[in-house]
Homo-oligomer: A and B are copies of this chain.
Amino acid sequence: MAGVRLGELGALLGGELVGDAELTVSRIGPLDSADAQTISFLSNPRYQAQLASSKAGCVIVGPAMREAAVARGPALVCADPYLAFARLTQWWAARSRRAPVVGVHPSAVVEEGARIHATASIGALAFVAAGAEVGAGAVIGPQVHIGADAAVGEGTLLKPRVVLSEGCRIGARGIVHSGAVIGADGFGFAPARNEAGAWWEKIEQLGGVRIGDDVEIGANTCIDRGALEDTVLEDGVKLDNLVQIGHNVHVGAHTAFAGCVGVAGSARIGRHCTAGGGAIILGHLEICDHVHITAATVISRSIHKPGQYSGMFPFDDNASWEKNAATLRQLHTLRERLRAMEKALENKT
């Protein structure tokens, strides 16, 4: 794309530019593969070694790195270089991506009684059911499904092939990625039996899903509707791909879950929590604010104290693992043998 003057970027990001404001860059890239047309950044000191040798046309750094960066060449010194980088990517994307076409694509199917704001965009082959509402500037991608009486807030973006089921609501400035399903039935059944045998009787899920503002939901992630009341995601929640949120779950504001996290029904998660990839949170428990769960950890009871919690089985070469795993299955007896010996020793003294 066309080059951008460093002076313009300095003004945009509000940092101190050290170097020629007339120089231009035409891409953003990592330090190691950068060239003179690349603006790069250094936020993690771990990568400082890459700074000196980088061929970047400009590097965004924090005050602590000012000297090292300036010694190398043009630098943009920002209070928080990682945040400045995030803002730069946003500006860059807005500048380079084509704007969505306002209005309803002729191939889309919009049922009577759907209310679509004049500034919204409805993509090709999308479906919008009766009673649904699409807000100002919202962008509904091709092949998206919006169910009856569902609502999409101002400026929210539903990528191609999202499903927002009947009666479910998402607020403003949200992003939902392709394949996500919002509002499938929660997994609820009552055990039943008669002389012929036992079966599962369906509990119809009469609640919905209520999602706040500034929420991002990953590809093929599922958020089930509540059994009687709504499943809730508060403002600023961020979910990665292939995440499962069971019915009646409540996720507090600004909580973020990485890929493949599963949250069972009726769990109540606090604000500003995080969970690493593949973590599982069992149902009907409470997690307070500011709890951080390590990847692949299973949370099997409530947590009332902020902090980091872990439960990953340490991997090993297969032979060592097999020996340890075999012993693990007898851990309890090991403990008893130990106690027995402690007793025996005491008797000796």
What residues of chain A have their CB less than 8 Å away from a CB belonging to chain B? 28-30, 33, 80, 82-83, 85-87, 89-90, 92-93, 96, 98, 105, 107, 109, 123-125, 127, 142-143, 145, 147-148, 159-161, 163, 165, 175, 177-179, 181, 184-185, 187, 189-192, 197-206, 214, 216, 218-220, 222, 224, 227-229, 236, 238, 240-242, 244, 246, 254, 256, 258-260, 262, 264, 272, 276-278, 280, 282, 293-300, 307-318, 320-332, 334-335, 337-338, 341-342, 344-345, 348
CA A326 to CA B307, docked complex, whole Å = 20
The chain B residue with its CB closest to the CB of A149 is B98
A318–B308 CB distance below 8 A: yes
Beyond A178-B145, A184-B178, whether A262 also contacts B244 by CB under 8 A is: no
Are A192's CB and B236's CB within 8 A?
Answer: no
Given contacts A90-B202, A179-B181, A184-B177, contact A220 B218 (CB under 8 A): no
In the complex, chain B residues whose CB is within 8 Å of the CB of A124: 109, 127
Q: Assess whether A190 is in contact with B313, with CB atoms less than 8 Å apart.
A: no
Q: Are B264 and A244 in contact (CB under 8 A)?
A: no
Residues of B within 8 A of A192 (CB): 80, 83, 86
Q: Please judge, given known A-B contacts A242-B244, A259-B187, A310-B315, whether A206 and B278 are in contact too, CB under 8 Å.
A: no
Q: For A85, give its contact among B203, B272, B315 (CB under 8 Å).
A: B203
